[in-house]
Structure 1
Amino acid sequence: MTMKHHCLRPCPALQQCLNAVKNKLSKPSSGEPDTALKQSIIEGTIVIDHKPGHSGPGKSASVQIYSGTIVDKNTGKGKLSEKAHLKRKESHKRNGTRTTTYTIKVNVEPEFGIPGAFIIENQHKHEFFIESATLQAPENLSIYFDCRSWVYPMKHTQTSRIFFSNKNYLPSQTPLGLVDLREEELEDLRGDTLGERKEWHRVYGYDYYNDLGDPDKDPQLFRPTIGGTELPYPRRGKTGRRKCKKAPFSESRTQQMNFDVYVPPDERFSPKKLSEFTGNAIQAIVHFVIPEAKSLLLPEDSSFQSFREIKELFTREKGQKVEEGLIEKLRKVMPEHLVKKITQASKGGTMKFPMPSIAIDNEFAWREDEEFGRQMLAGTNPTRIRCIEQFPLKGKHGEIISSIKESDIENSLDGQTIIQINSKGNVCAYASRTLVYLRNDATVKPLAIELSLPEFEDHDGFNKVYHPAKEGTDAALWQLAKAHVLANDSAYHQLVTHWLHTHAVVEPFIIGMKRQLSTMHPIYRLLDPHFKDTMHINALARSILINAGGILENILFPGEICMQLSSELYKEWRLDEQGLPIDLLKRRLALENEDNLTGVQILFQDYPYGLDGLDIYAAIQTWVVDYCSIFYKDDETLRKDDEVQEWWSEVRNIGHADKWTESWWTELPNVTDLTRFLTILIWITSGLHAAVNFGQYAYAGYPPNRPTLCRKFIPQEGTMEFSEFLKDTDKYFLQTLPNRFQSAISIALAGVLSRHTYDELYLGQRPPTEWTDHEEVLHKYEEFKKKLKEIEETIMERNRNPKYKNRRGPAKIPYKLLNPDSSNDKYRGGITEKGIPNSISI
């Protein structure tokens, strides 16, 4: 292993504190024995959460403090204090999770110096979650430790756990007492554990997506490895589970629906977050899924018979008893403790699920062409609309059909694959292209939809263009055409816009940061809140959402090839084009303008996602540039920063290994490039994810508005299907939508993903102001928070302005998805349809 060399320079602020302590100790004696010269005491508080049913550690846990400034000549590390055991001070309980504050008193030598780290030993039988610690050093110096990690019993880990204080140091500026500790900590995190990782293994590594299938259970559940030359993809966190017997390249799986999945302890949800997330999921299952499970046994009842039946999904006030046969099926796919929670929840009243916003004010607003077009600009997938380069464009039969909104997901499939999807008999998929017209008032008017099927072997091709109509048969056919477009867009949204472009692409950056950047590093401190809980939610997705037989394969039209399709679209992904300004330029919805902070001018103001997004992006960019300029005075400082350079290199060469040869992915030669890429990363994890995730219940929670697949092709004149269609066009439309059970799963998923947790931290929020002791950083952060508050007020004003028609539309849904903060509401959590969390935490 190559050791890093440090040019050791004292930190000015730290040196000032040290001098104050030395002056205190060097005062002349008054004639009485100075007990301070014999012993000093450092007092502190430690805040700990523990799981429901687990007791707190109490005296079973002990703490020792490392000096950051005084080196022990025998160890080469900072001086180490005596052990001090935790003493309970106060405790409170919320949602079944208990939080306890403990105190400690640590004896240290007078020449101990300034604390820089502490280690904690857990001799208790249970793990616990340590939120934070605060130490009171001499001269009233308060030192804060932002911990937020699990500490497991020593019987498992065989080692104590170290936490560093809130001070920021580039590698070359590390205090003498922390140099070796800094390096040892990173070596431990990069260490490899042979075999399956246990929940207490705090080790980070990369792996392919070879954990989605379960061929040992059923050959139909085999899935190819995603990642590599044939199916490129970002890497995921390594778990090291045994390989399958029937597919040696595939990793074995646990039960399908399991919330207790492996991620390193630093990445695991807190007890509060896990309890709330589990409760939300169970309530959604009980409210929507359980009552519709019986429709699987009664095919004739598998479709909704009326729009009233869809509305009744949301008006249920009580759960329904879980039938014994269903309980046995649940036991096959989830742990017993979850089955018990589901049966218990079904016996009482369930959580209130409101009617999705799209159907509150106007039950049939979703039918309106204006609303269909508006959602391309302000709905749950506003990132695909683009301006055409030339007009008019011709289709195969001479009609104008080319689009500003295309189903790229279909364009990535060959003819054989489309035929394969449709051959299963339960899905009917077209390739689709949609042309819309931007009116003078900035509203969007649909002009045409082209639906096509490829010619392949003995399969005849199909190509037809549908045009808007207000009434009669043509209007009903037009509504079916829109449903097929929306089914394609739903698949693209979930598999690419949402999962790939936020969740999946960010995970390698998190793994690399934990392996290469010390928690003391300024860039670690900048990115840490934006990476919170992402690895855990991604692991849950691989267990429940994107796995073979999982939720997305059951509700999206691509079925078992969902992840292969996502891989195809990863081939087009470039990190440097994920920033909003470049994205808008690529889609020809903005023009270059060097006078603006972001370098672009949006093409038209009434594009809610684009306009609000640019404001948020500019604020993030300013904050990142200000922050980095504090620590990197010139490019040479960055080039000599081994930790950042190794992080960037590892992400390029391992985390996104299938992209490393592409010319756009360069090294980090200057601070300008660093701030550009950091701004993009923070935008992806905050603004972009919020815009494409938290509106899902409002729009996709109502099946007619955003069906996830279609079960019928559009009927052609002269066929039996067309006669059936003419008898009852609404019935035919409802039969085209996903069946009752698929719809219930989709609604439940949208409800869970759109719900903020109670303790969510939003953009511009950090844990207590002690997250750093750097005054200039705190000053710049206050400016960032102030700017976000101004943007919030601007967004509210735009929503009130009647000239911005796309901000409300026929459904009268104000665009709030990029409203930075929802924590000032009466209820912090829940489905608020606004708020930008710091990270991809759901």
Structure 2
Amino acid sequence: MFGILGGGKGHKIKGTVVLMRKNVLDFNEIVSTANGGVLGVAGGLFGAANKVVGGIVDGATSVFSRNIALQLISATKTDGLGNGKVGKQTFLEKHLPTLPTLGDRQDAFNIYFEWDESFGIPGAFYIKNFMQAEFFLVSVTLEDIPNHGTIRFVCNSWVYNAKEYKKDRIFFANKTYIPNETPTPLVKYRKEELENLRGDGTGQRKESDRIYDYDVYNDLGNPDKSADLARPVLGGSSAYPYPRRGRTGRKATKRDPKSGTPTSDTYIPRDESFGHLKSSDFLTYGIKSLSQNVIPQFQSAFGLNAEFDKFDDVRGLFEGGLYLPTDVISKISPLPVLKEIFRTDGEQALKFPPPQAIKVSKSAWMTDEEFGREMLAGVNPCLIQRLQEFPPKSKLDSTVYGDQTSTITKEHLEINLGGLTVEEALNGNRLFILDHHDAVRPYLRKINDLPTAKSYATRTIPFVERRWAHRSHWLLNESLPHPRGDEFGAVSRVILPADQGAESTIWLLAKAYVVVNDSCYHQLMSHWLNTHATIEPFVIATNRHLSVLHPIYKLLLPHYRDTMNINGLARQSLINAGGIIEQSFLPGPFSVEMSSAVYKSWVFTDQALPADLIKRGMAIEDSSSPHGLRLPTEDYPYAADGPEIWATIKYGCKNTSFSTTSQMLLLHKIPNSKAFWKELVQVGHGDKKNEPWWAKMQTREEWIESCTTLIWTASALHAAVNFGQYPYGGYILNRPTQSRQFMPEIGSPEYDELAKNPQKVYSKTITGKNEALKDLTTTEVLSRHASDELYLGQRDGGEFWTFDKEPSEAFKRFGKRLAEIEDKISGRNKNSSLRNRNGPAQMPYTVLLPTSGEGLTFRGIPNSISI
């Protein structure tokens, strides 16, 4: 294959354009055609294949050849005004269906550009689409440029009809420049592209837009539909601080001018939604289908008061299947995404895959050891702390809530400390605490006023002997608001373990109240707030201020993949008023509002894993350690595996984007870099803009640390709190999300019932059948990996962002280090002396293994928050 045709003037540069057509799997099309429930969706899936857009059948490859034009832009020669020369408009030519490098559903075309030496080296190109329908541009490759070689443009972007854009679409070569090193002919084009992405802050966004802008969370409620669906605006006030989300510009509701009108088709910048390219769209669209179609069918089938009567009823969901009326199963089964998620055996049986929590042992979840192990190796391993003061105190305002100090006494503890005093146990790093008290207490009165919610603010204290959770070494402290008013403090009691009679069920219920609090804190704070919500402002600020040519943009882009997409979907179906979270989690309508209260104490620098572990007392700085940390509790899988991942991410940042030979050392002096961080702090996280802990970004070390923290949050932290959701929470007895009645008091009829039928009382106390099915179906979707997921150390199409040797080699070493870590983690999981690696449930700690296959694998660290 040769790149220059002819001789002298009139040479032609040969190029290859790879694109993908809009087709049947584009879910934007399916949404618009599916108006008839699940059957309508299924019809949309198959009917969209024959849809004619604007009267033109864009599937014909000859149409692409006649209707897509490119113009090269020089990176070395100017037009006399200082801007890169623009070449002649050139159309695609021959279709190349057998090109060996093509991916699934990709098409390649030849294109020939007129060229001579006066044009110089191409550094960018304009592209115009003259068709009615959009297409996805994958890449453009120019071959054998004289005195240069091959030039590669990695595009990965939707291109709409040229009339949709105020400025022509432009793409730059796969090379990086900090702004002051950008070739002079490209400076104007780089600046214009950033201006296009920022927009002007006005108007309602449409599908083809690529504009990144900020807004508050004003779209969760629906006051025009019902006063019960009104929700406070989160963000922009001291009462409800919150990170910003992407602006859509939708019209205000009639009843509340501060709230935006909800919609089933929320705008996100077009390239943030990969549409038909990602099989994960089956999963994300599945969430919407669950919310709008499947869950209402469950409600219809079982009614409002459906209950599990015994533990075998719950296990039956996985062993024998759930028997539904024929009309219900017929409305669920046609949707392909749900066929993949649910296993159907027989016309009326809906069978779920068994969660790992019960694959080996059906009763391990009931043990104290497993209860404690999941604090360290479960789906929410980031909340446990080493107890550093006694008694535990509250940070709540005592003028509002009175004295909220724990009522646990030294006498309660010391009977189980093996002869140690409380002080000796504290000094020996033997006492820990799982503390949900301050997060739950401000909302507890409101929660307990809900018809089917009854709970406590809890503190749980384990004492560590030779292993993490010896049966007799537990204390639970449960608190309720004082009946005379909040200012009078709390009504509390301490519960100790028991293993016989009704008291053993009381102890099991006491643990359930703790797990309900932990499930809610995990979903709303550890998962949604600390990863999804806090990362979105970074996505917006990066696209507004860091050009695609910027090395930091190249570094961060893979860690933003699909985040705005899944967050937009969450606002439609998961965290919205009346959505799945409000329906199936304890706080109900106060769910996301509670996460706003926790955001008040959010600190970006504390999201760095070493800082987080040290702050919680779960690690101690130790310069002699390979990672600078020593663990008081060695058998803490999250803290044992995490620092190695963290250190490797930091190595990757330092050596691929912040090498000592680069002028990245001077980042703090570059206007674009300064503007990126300034806007992120002052707008993206504007409610925290006056906090003193924000890095000033004046040194290379500050940039490395901040980028490492960001990538850790978007990749490993999210993996740790996401992909265990179904393995642990799919079995609702192990991880309930609701508590619906208070603990029975001795002498009451409820206590007598508990003594006679403990399983029924336990089942009636925790999440009911309808809500359990909502949890089960949703977490099964959210715990899955797509077939084309990209994991830490991988890049789209295998492309690194630069051909420069030093960072390219460093990226390869980054991948090798991750492979070595995977081997180490697998080795630790086989070490029988590390009991928390498997525990009674025999669930190895695998969520921080870097790689994974497709599906429900309980492992793998994707680059980004993509589900």
Q: What TM-score, normalized by structure 1, do the two folds share?
A: 0.88
Q: C-alpha distance in 1, partners of 2:434/2:740?
A: 21
1:36 to 2:8 alignment: yes
Aligned: 1:405 with 2:413: no
Corresponding residue for residue 687 of structure 1:
716
Aligned to 2:863: 838
1:168 Cα offset (Å): 0.6
Does the CA-based 8 Å contact 1:407-1:492 persist in structure 2?
A: no
Segments of 5+ residues of structure 2 without an aligned counterpart are 25-48, 52-57, 393-404, 414-421, 423-430
Q: Does 1:396 align with 2:396?
A: no
2:283 is aligned with 1:311:
no
Q: CA deviation at 1:565?
A: 0.7
- How far did residue 71 of structure 1 move? 1.5
Q: Is the 8 A contact 1:450 1:466 kept in 2?
A: yes
Q: Is the 8 Å Cα contact of residues 341 and 781 (structure 2) preserved in structure 1?
A: no
Residue of structure 2 in register with 1:568 after alignment = 597
Q: Percent identity?
A: 38
Structure 1 residues 214 and 466: CA distance shift in structure 2, 3 A: same
Equivalents in 1 of 2:291, 2:198: separation in Å? Answer: 39
Aligned residue number for residue 812 of structure 1:
842
Deviates more, 1:434-443 or 1:530-539: 434-443
- The one-letter amino acid of 1:830's match is G
In the alignment, the residues of structure 2 paired with residue 292 and residue 356 of structure 1 have an alpha-carbon distance, to the nearest angstrom, of 20
For 1:207, the equivalent position in structure 2 comes to 215
Does 2:464 align with 1:465? no
How far apart are the structure 2 equivalents of 1:288 and 1:308? 24
* Amino acid across the alignment from 2:508: Q
Task: Identify the residue that residue 760 of structure 1 maps to in structure 2.
Answer: 789
Alignment-derived partner of residue 161 in structure 1:
169
Alpha-carbon distance, 1:97 to partner: 8.3
Work out whether residues 125 and 171 of structure 2, in 8 Å CA contact, stay in contact via their aligned partners in 1.
yes
Equivalent in 59, 68, 77 of residue 70 of structure 1: 77
Report if the CA contact (8 A) 2:141-2:153 is conserved. yes
**1:339 & 1:215 partners in 2: Cα distance?**
31
Contact 1:320–1:347 (Cα < 8 Å) also in 2: no
Q: Is the 8 A contact 1:50 1:97 kept in 2?
A: no
1:340–1:195 Cα change, 3 Å: farther
Q: Structure 1 residues 531, 635: closer, same or farther in 2, change over 3 A?
A: closer
Change (3 A) 1:348 1:374: closer
How far, CA to CA, are the matches of 1:739 and 1:213 in structure 2? 25
| SS of match in other structure, 1:725 | helix
Q: String of CA shifts for 1:541-592, please: whole Å, max 9, x gaps.
A: 1111111111111111111111111011001111111111111111111111
Question: Aligned pair 1:784/2:814, yes or no?
Answer: yes
1:585 aligned counterpart, secondary structure: helix
Letter in 1 for 2:451: G
Distance in 1 of aligned mates of 2:781 and 2:341: 16
Task: Determine the C-alpha separation between the residues in 1 that align with 2:294 and 2:311.
Answer: 16
Residue 427 (1) aligns with residue 453 (2): yes
- 1:192 correspondence with 2:200: yes
Give the secondary structure class of the aligned counterpart of 2:672. helix
Is 2:20 the counterpart of 1:48? yes
**Residue of 219, 225, 248 corresponding to 1:217:** 225
Q: 1:458 to 1:172 in 2, by over 3 A?
A: closer
Cα contact 1:686–1:838 (8 A) shared by 2: yes
Match of 2:241 among 212, 232, 237: 232
**CA RMSD after TM alignment:** 3.1
Q: Give the deviation of 1:311 after TM superposition.
A: 1.8
Q: Is the 8 A contact 1:496 1:569 kept in 2?
A: yes
**Residue aligned with 1:37, SS:** coil
Q: Kindly indicate whether residue 110 of structure 2 is the aligned counterpart of residue 85 of structure 1.
A: no
Is it true that 1:120 corresponds to 2:148 in the alignment?
no
Q: What is the aligned partner in structure 1 of residue 401 from structure 2? A: none
What is the letter of the counterpart of residue 543 of structure 2?
Answer: K
Give the match for residue 262 of structure 2.
253
Deviates more, 1:398-407 or 1:112-121: 398-407
Q: Residue 639 and residue 346 in structure 1: after superposition, are their counterparts in 2 closer, same or farther (change >3 A)?
A: closer
Q: Which amino acid aligns with 1:360?
A: K
1:448 aligns with 2:475: yes
The 5 Å alignment of 1:369-768 reads 369-390=368-389, 395-396=406-407, 398=409, 400=412, 404-408=432-436, 410-413=437-440, 417-442=443-468, 446-457=473-484, 462-596=491-625, 598-630=627-659, 633=662, 637-767=666-796, 768=798
Alpha-carbon separation, structure 1, partners of 2:143 and 2:862: 32
Q: Distance in 2 between matches of 1:528 and 1:319?
A: 45
- CA–CA separation in structure 1 for the residues paired with 2:799 and 2:587: 47
**Judging changes above 3 Å, is the alpha-carbon distance between structure 1 residues 634 and 168 closer, same or farther for their aligned structure 2 residues?**
closer
SS for the counterpart of 2:97 is strand
Cα deviations across residues 11-37 of structure 1 (Å, max 9, x unaligned)?
A: xxxxxxxxxx9xx99xxxxxxx97332
Return closer, same or farther for 1:51/1:90 CA change in 2, 3 Å cut-off: same
Deviation string 1:490-512 (CA, Å, 9 cap, x unpaired) is 01001100001001111111100
1:391 Cα deviation after fit: 5.2
* Residue type at the aligned position of 2:17: T
Aligned equivalents of 1:292 and 1:471: distance in 2?
37
Selected match of 1:243 from 252, 257, 260 = 252
Tell me how far apart the structure 2 counterparts of residues 43 and 325 of structure 1 sit (CA, whole Å).
52
Relative distance call for 1:161 and 1:655 in structure 2 (3 A) is same
Residues 684 and 376 of structure 1: CA distance in aligned 2, closer, same or farther (over 3 Å)? same
Matched residue, 1:265: 270
Once residues 341 and 650 of structure 2 are traced to their aligned partners in structure 1, the CA distance between those partners, rounded to angstroms, is 45
Q: Shift in Å at residue 722 of structure 1? A: 1.2
2:454 corresponds to which letter in structure 1? C
Q: CA deviation at 1:298?
A: 5.5
1:772 aligns with one of 802, 812, 820:
802
The Cα offsets for residues 725-755 of structure 1, whole Å up to 9 and x where unpaired, read as 2220111001112111100010111111100
User: What's the secondary structure of 1:691's corresponding residue?
Assistant: helix
Change (3 A) 1:149 1:439: farther
Q: Would the aligned equivalents of 1:133 and 1:144 in 2 still touch at CA under 8 Å?
A: yes
In the aligned structure 2, how far is the partner of 1:315 from the partner of 1:155? 56
Match of 1:5 in 2: none
CA distance in 1, matches of 2:543, 2:289: 34
Would the alpha carbon gap of residues 177 and 210 (structure 1) be closer, same or farther in structure 2, given more than 3 Å must change? Answer: same
Aligned residue among 58, 61, 69 for 2:64: 58
Give the C-alpha shift of residue 176 in structure 1: 2.1
**Stretch of structure 1 that moved more, 500-509 or 385-394:** 385-394
Q: Whole-Å Cα distance in 1 between the matches of residues 273 and 304 of structure 2?
A: 41
Which deviates more, 659-668 or 682-691?
A: 659-668
| SS state at 1:314 partner | helix
The structure-2 alpha-carbon separation of the partners of 1:136 and 1:353, relative to structure 1 and needing over 3 Å to count, comes to: farther
State the distance in 2 between where 1:356 and 1:345 align: 13
> Which TM-score applies when normalising by structure 2?
0.85
**CA contact 1:517–1:644 (8 Å) conserved in 2:** yes
* Mapped contact 1:49–1:131 kept (Cα < 8 A): no
Q: Deviations over 1:746-778 (max 9, x none)?
A: 011111110000000100111223532121111
Between 706-715 and 146-155, report the one with greater CA deviation.
146-155
Q: Is the 8 A contact 1:136 1:142 kept in 2?
A: yes
Task: Return closer, same or farther for 1:597/1:79 CA change in 2, 3 Å cut-off.
Answer: farther
Partner AA of 2:134 in structure 1 = E
Between 33-42 and 512-521, report the one with greater CA deviation: 33-42
What is the identity, as a one-letter code, of the residue corresponding to 2:208? W
Q: Partners in 1 of 2:311 and 2:329 — Cα distance? A: 29
| Amino acid in the other structure paired with 1:742 | E
One-letter identity of the residue aligned with 1:668: M
Partner Cα separation in structure 2 for residue 86 and residue 310 of structure 1: 61
Cα drift, residue 86 of structure 1: 5.3
- What is the CA distance between 1:91 and its match in structure 2? 7.8
1:669-706 CA-to-partner distances (Å, cap 9, x unmatched) read 11111111111001001110000000111001110011
Residue type of the alignment partner of 1:447: W
Alpha-carbon shift at residue 540 of structure 1 (Å):
0.6
Asked if the contact 1:516/1:647 (under 8 Å) is kept, the reply is yes
- DSSP 3-state at the match of 1:179: helix
SS of the residue aligned with 1:794?
A: helix
Name stretches of at least 5 consecutive residues in structure 1 with no aligned partner. 1-20, 26-32, 331-336, 823-827
Letter in 1 for 2:807: V
CA shift for structure 1 position 105: 2.2
User: What does the per-residue CA deviation read over 1:440-483, in whole Å, with 9 as the maximum and x for residues that have no partner?
Assistant: 24556551111110104379953221111222111110000010
